[in-house]
Structure 1
Amino acid sequence: MSHFPIRWRRSAAAASLAAAVSVLAALLVPASASAVTATPAASCVRTLAQGDSRVSVAYGGVDYSVLVHVPAAPTSKKLPLVVDLHGSNSNGVVQASISDLRTLADRKGFIVVEPTGAIAFPQTLPDGNWAWNVPGVPLTSGTYPPADSRDDVAFLRTVVSQIDATGCVDDRRVYATGYSGGGRMASALACEASDVFAAIAPVAGLRAGRAAAEDLTTPVPATCTPAQPVAVVTFHGTDDFVNPYAGNSDPRWGYSVNTAATRWAEINECRVGPTIAQYSASIRTLTWSKCSRQADVVLYEVTGGGHTWPGTSVDLSPLGATTQEISASEAMWEFFSAHQRRG
């Protein structure tokens, strides 16, 4: 399936939140010789409030407050759902400002949910500083999460399930994105919850399983074995010093972004690629296509880009340059729109 990149201009009216991030972080029907009668989709009624709200999600005996945004739409219309995950040492409120997916959700008609991790950092932000429990991977401190840490793959499954129950969600169109550590968490969801997520869009955080302890330049195949293909689009700056494009010797990161994208192309059994194209002056795309169940893989490589979210109006300058040649949020939604879960 072809991918059609889009152009975007930055809004001059957007506010700066540098302090908030200072430390970081159609259903496939089988062919048949005989006629097949399609089963009508089950009806639903959305009870989630329109606009911004907080939903209490119960998991493991604890109630977690989750930020949700619902666009204006008929309550019986099934809507796509995007799970938007914050970086390490951050929270869902900060991530909502960085991605600004709520504004896009109102224009395009999808629900966005911005949960918060449960591994605490020293608190400096109003809603706390938190990290995700990425399976088998150390924290930015170099230590591993405590043994009793929340299982965030299971927790995020629960988040989707609860929003599904009250939000009239189209189960074929559930997606995940995330920034930095949230991108690593979104990658883990593709590896371990491919029955839920149709596509992912990590920003500055694509992984394809844990880096091999004996050779950090390669992922361990057994740590990412999705039951079905998940389409992938990702955005990464070549001057990212937190999660370096070329990889590093940190077991939290390890192998290169190109290696991660290539591995996803292997997982998705892509037969063509990478096809390289110049998107703009400093951005090129690497695309793998003709993949199983149309689960394409697209990498936006941002020359000179830092550990930042392309197109954001939030000031992330301590983390390097932020390109305004593309909006990652706009581009990922276009990609999501072209990829639904098939089975």
Structure 2
Amino acid sequence: MRGLVPALALALLPAAGQACGRDGPACDTPLGTYRIALPETAESLHPAVLFLHGAGGTGRGVLRMTGTVSALTARGYAVIAPDGLPWRTGQSGGIWSFLPDDQRPALRDEGAFFAEVIADAAEVHGVDPDRVLLAGFSAGGFMVNYLACETPDAFPAYAPVSGGFWTPLPEACAGPVKLFHTHGFRDSTVPLEGRPLRDGLWLQGDIFAGLALWRETNQCNWPDPDGYQTTGAFQRRHWDCAAGSELEFALFPGGHGVPEGWADMVIEWFEAVTVDAE
């Protein structure tokens, strides 16, 4: 995901950004499409949040989350919103291929697709490929967890919202990560305890069991948190883990959604565990 942005591409940034925004044509890569919202800053290379939509969603729908998008671009971040693939004929929205092949055949290699998107956004829109946070909501949050588990070095940090793992959970993850999970206390679509779908064909996993997997992966000192913090309505807890890893969990009073204040909170965390840690 590393690369240089040609001077010519930088000169074309305003037009390219408009062309691939919420209402214009999407950007194309060999494996799919994406949209992007750019910050109004003079910085030649923008950090970014690659944000994955929920089941049946679209990249355009992500950019319609105006409160979240505006909060991110106001901090100088581009918001990259890729499109999942339809999982059945005639489906207008998309889904992500995160379940193991023995549970559901993959529609595409999502890790390869995200790498394509970042490379294209770096060349065409001036995104810094080394400063991209992978975030996602609901099914997008599940995708974030699975990609972090399988390829921990794909992104510098991960921030799932309202999505964890399915049952059975992975037996182990490939290596430590920096991960910040946010979840609604009243979430009934992805409850903290998990729930069955389609008469038990699929079972959403227990969010706390997923956190236990991350504590094991990150070699955290104890199962109970090492610290607590309140940020607005967010009740946060973090664990002291292996050097180079981070693990934090935030509960908010609402249900299934991306809450107000999430963007500022997660960017402050991202910069603290990446930029400030360098």
Q: Does the pair score TM above 0.5?
A: yes
Select the residue among 262, 267, 274 that pairs with 1:328: 262
SS in 2 for 1:88: coil
Structure 1 residue aligned with 2:13:
48
In structure 2, how many angstroms separate the alpha carbons of the residues matched to 1:42 and 1:161?
Answer: 9
- Structure 2 residue 251 is matched with structure 1 residue 301: yes
SS in 1 for 2:113: helix
Change (3 A) 1:96 1:137: farther
Contact 2:137 2:160 in 1 (8 A): yes
SS in 2 for 1:154: helix
Change (3 A) 1:283 1:106: closer
Contact 1:79 1:111 in 2 (8 A): yes
Structure 1 residue aligned with 2:207:
257
Structure 2 residue aligned with 1:197:
155
In structure 2, how many angstroms separate the alpha carbons of the residues matched to 1:100 and 1:282?
Answer: 17
Structure 2 residue aligned with 1:284:
235
- TM-aligned CA deviation for residue 115 of structure 1: 0.9
Contact 1:70 1:105 in 2 (8 A): no
In structure 2, how many angstroms separate the alpha carbons of the residues matched to 1:201 and 1:57?
Answer: 25
Q: CA RMSD in A?
A: 3.1
- What amino acid is the match of 2:167? A
- TM-aligned CA deviation for residue 225 of structure 1: 1.4
- Structure 2 residue 182 is matched with structure 1 residue 232: no
- What amino acid is the match of 2:235? R
Structure 1 residue aligned with 2:71:
104
Select the residue among 143, 146, 164 that pairs with 1:185: 143
Residue-by-residue CA offset, 1:27-82 (whole Å, 9 max, x unaligned) = xxxxxxxxxxxxxx96754343375441533225xxx331111223336x322121
Q: Which runs of 5+ in 1 are unaligned?
A: 1-40, 213-218, 312-326
Select the residue among 54, 61, 67 that pairs with 1:87: 54
Q: Percent identity?
A: 24
Q: Which runs of 5+ in 2 are unaligned?
A: 21-25
In structure 1, how many angstroms separate the alpha carbons of the residues matched to 2:130 and 2:63?
Answer: 24
TM-score by length of 1: 0.66
SS in 2 for 1:130: coil
In structure 2, how many angstroms separate the alpha carbons of the residues matched to 1:281 and 1:114?
Answer: 27
In structure 2, how many angstroms separate the alpha carbons of the residues matched to 1:310 and 1:43?
Answer: 34
Contact 1:177 1:203 in 2 (8 A): yes
In structure 1, how many angstroms separate the alpha carbons of the residues matched to 2:66 and 2:164?
Answer: 16
- Structure 2 residue 190 is matched with structure 1 residue 243: yes
Residue-by-residue CA offset, 1:143-174 (whole Å, 9 max, x unaligned) = 834x6x22222211211122123334334321
Structure 1 residue aligned with 2:218:
268
Going by fraction, where is helix more abundant, 1 or 2?
2
- What amino acid is the match of 1:310? P
- What amino acid is the match of 1:332? V
In structure 1, how many angstroms separate the alpha carbons of the residues matched to 2:234 and 2:269?
Answer: 17
- Structure 2 residue 271 is matched with structure 1 residue 337: yes
Change (3 A) 1:255 1:106: closer
In structure 2, how many angstroms separate the alpha carbons of the residues matched to 1:339 and 1:276?
Answer: 16
TM-score by length of 2: 0.80
- What amino acid is the match of 2:262? A
Which protein shows a greater Rg? 1
Contact 2:50 2:80 in 1 (8 A): yes
User: RCO greater where, 1 or 2, for CA within 8 Å and sep 6 or more?
Assistant: 1
